[in-house]
Each structure stands twice: as C-alpha cells, then as structure tokens.
Amino acid sequence: MNCRHCRAPLELEFLNLGHAPPSNAYLDPAALNAPEKTYPLRVKVCQKCRLVQTEDYAEAEELFNSDYAYFSSTSRGWLEHASRYVTMIVDRLGLNGDSHVIEVACNDGYLLRNFVEAGIPCLGIEPTASTAEAAEALSIPVLREFFGAAVGRRLAREGKMADLVCGNNVYAHVPDINDFTRGLASVLKPDGVITLEFPHLLRLVEQTQFDTIYHEHFSYLSLLTASKIFEAAGLRIFDLEHLSTHGGSLRIYGCHAHAPLDTTPAVGACIERERAVGVDTDDFYTAFQSKAEEIKNNLMRFLLQAHADRKSVAAYGAAAKGNTLLNFAGVRPDLIPFVCDAAKAKQGKFMPGSHIPILPPEALDADPPDYVLILPWNIAEEVKAQLSHLAAQGSRFVTAIPELHIT
C-alpha cells in the first residue's frame, strides 16, 4: 500500500489491533446466527508526509450505509458544542440571510439546525440515509452523496458555492483525502472560509487513545500533515483552535491560498509544538503498540477480578470507540452482560464482534451494577452527571483510557 496523500510506500507500522468488524456495524438478533465479516485493523505511518492511516480493506460504502447508527444529537454536550460554534462563526464571518453554508457529513442535522433557526441558507451533504432523514425532518436540505471533487465542482457550476464550508469529525473518515480536499476548494467562494474539526494526532499519541482507531477512520492527522494536504489542493490553514472534544481536537480554519486572510500565530505555534515532540520522526510512533496493550491488559485484569469477586459490571455508551476497545481486549458477555445507550437506533441490537446486547439506559435502574464502564470516556463527566442516581446507590464509574480509573 502507498500513502493516500503523497503515494510514498508505507513501511512504518503504528498499531495492529488484529481483526475486527466495522465499529458501527451493530447487529440485529437474527444476525447472531450468521457469519460476521471482519477486517484487519492495522495502522501505518507515512515516513514522508507523516499521514497516519489505516490499511485499505473496507469500502466506505459498506461502512457508511443506510443503517448507519451514529446520531450526533444523542449527546447533549455535542449539541451544545455545535450551538456555541454557530454563534461564534456567524459573528466572526458576519453571516446573514444572503450567505450560504455547506456542512459536509451533516449527520442528523445537529449543527445545521442552528443555521436554519438563524435564517441562514444552508445545505447538508450526508450519504447515510438514516441520519439524512433525521436532518430533513428539521427542514434542512440534504444532498445524499459522498462528498468529493466531482460533487464540489457540480455545486459550483450550479451556483451553490459557500461562504462557509464546515465539517466536524469527517476529515478522518474519507478514504481519498486529496479528492475530498479538492472538493472543499471547488465549492468555496474566493473569500470563503473552511472549518474542520478532527481529533489531534498529538493528543491521540500522548493519551494512548487507541480506541479512536477503527475502520471508519481512514486518517489520523497532525497539523503538519493537514497543512500539506491543504497546500496540495490550493488551500491554506490560516487559524486554529484547540478543543477538548473527543479527547483533544483541532478546529482548523482554511481559505484559498491567496485569500486576503492573515495566518495567525496559533498555526505556527502548533506546528512548533508538534515538531518539538517529534511528530515528524519515526520514534514518535514506535512505542504506541505496547502502550495500547498495557491499557488492554489492565482492563482485562479489572474485569476478571470483578468477575471472581462476584461484582457486577455493565457498560454505558455503545460507541464505536468502545467496540475497538472491547474487541481488542476480547471482552464478551460473560464479563460485561450488557451495554446501555440512549440512541434508540442501537437499542435491541448487539455490539459488533463482542455480541454484547445493547439496552436502554433504564436497564441500569432495575438492578444497579457495582461498576459502570463508560466506553465513550471523552464524555465521561456528562455520563456521570446523567447517572448520578446510580452513584448514590453505590455504583462506581470506570474508564479505561488513558489509564484505568475508578471513581
């Protein structure tokens, strides 16, 4: 395999998680009696441009299909994050009823609903029918396609270029990141702005956030590499913000290379920080495998000891990152009999690989467990607040990443 960006041969391995099913391929009960498709989950590092990327096995159309079960609006914290962003960006760019906003991967309309309420024309692009339908129910126009250069050029020909193109947690999900970025350039007005949010590779490595690695993520990005990809498409990153979301993310601001927007000191400072810790060297990546295995082993020791002590353990949050963790560790229903999730689209189904049943949150109230393993550790505080009544009854909360923590 060659690098998806610069085409250099890929020889440096970052992480090998064995074989796993797609992390959002939740199973209906009938599917438990059928073979389950799995793919190798291996990640490599390009030693030329430093793009961290999964090996090619799964097709995007298979990963993001009509039954896609991730709905952004399930998290109250994420809805608040989106609302704050819209308030900020409308003020910063002076957006109004004459502006046009495009969101790539609009999911269930969690973000664009705020532009609709503000009277700002917008368009969502979303290939998964399940989430697109939810967005359309909020009066959001949705183009049901995978975004890329051809779509961007077509929208430009149709006079649908954007003052703002935004995308939250989509940049890592695209198999052809060059084509996607050229699409951003094609649909962006000459003085328009792009904002993309994605987990920062620096934080992923520093916190050993290996559970954010799954087939739906094709790339893991540093600012160094994202800048190179933008530059190749005739774009420039002129500003950025550090976010706490997803364990530490970047929100980058992009524009056409020659747009009259000054590059802020924040961009250079982040690149200097990345270089200082060695993001552009092989040594930065070589210890990640052993750290991931240590986290896995600590979780298994905890679960096995709880089982031996006859302590009950349930999980909360049927998140994709949870599936990566459970499948890498080999956890099955004998150690965690069920996981609860507020998303109705997941309830009544089973976790891929581990086949742990997914129940509504009320299942925790019927018989409060001794321990609740919070799989989406990035929203652990939100979950603890929602389940505070369980703590009052003696349940303790557990997170496994970046290290095993029990409260």
Burial of 137 (0-12, 13-18, 19+ CB in 10 A): exposed
- The domain spans of the chain are 302-406
Give the Cα-Cα-Cα angle 62, 66, 70 (nearest 5 degrees): 90
Q: What secondary structure letter does DSSP report for 259?
A: S
Sign of CA dihedral 49, 50, 52, 56: positive
Q: What element of type H or E holds 385? A: helix 380-386
Q: How far apart are CA 79 and CA 73, in angstroms?
A: 6
Q: How far apart are CA 169 and CA 267, in angstroms?
A: 20
pLDDT at 63: 52
DSSP-derived 3-state class of residue 252: strand
Q: How far apart are CA 157 and CA 179, in angstroms?
A: 18
CB 219 within 8 A of CB 172: yes
pLDDT at 69: 52
How large is the angle between the packed helices 320-329 and 288-308, nearest 10 degrees? 80
Residues 143-186: tens digit of each pLDDT: 999 999 999 999 999 999 999 999 999 999 999 999 999 999 99
CB 353 within 8 A of CB 327: yes
pLDDT at 56: 74
**Phi, psi dihedral angles at 281 (to 5 degrees):** -125, 155
Kindly report the pTM of this predicted structure. Answer: 0.88
Q: How far apart are CA 118 and CA 129, in angstroms?
A: 26
Q: Which two tokens stand for residue 212?
A: 């954010």
CATH code, 302-406 = 3.40.50.720
pLDDT at 64: 53
Q: How many CB atoms lie within 10 A of CB 251?
A: 20
**Phi, psi dihedral angles at 273 (to 5 degrees):** -65, -45
User: What DSSP string describes 352-377?
Assistant: TTT--BEE-TTHHHHS--SEEEES-G
Q: Which residues of the chain have pLDDT under 70?
A: 57-71, 73
pLDDT at 66: 47
Q: How far apart are CA 9 and CA 7, in angstroms?
A: 6
CB 314 within 8 A of CB 339: yes
Closest of 54, 8, 15 to residue 221, by C-alpha: 54
Task: Give strand pairing partners of 143.
Answer: 125
Q: How many CB atoms lie within 10 A of CB 46?
A: 21
Closest of 14, 10, 13 to residue 288, by C-alpha: 14
Residues 303-319: tens digit of each pLDDT: 999 999 999 999 999 99
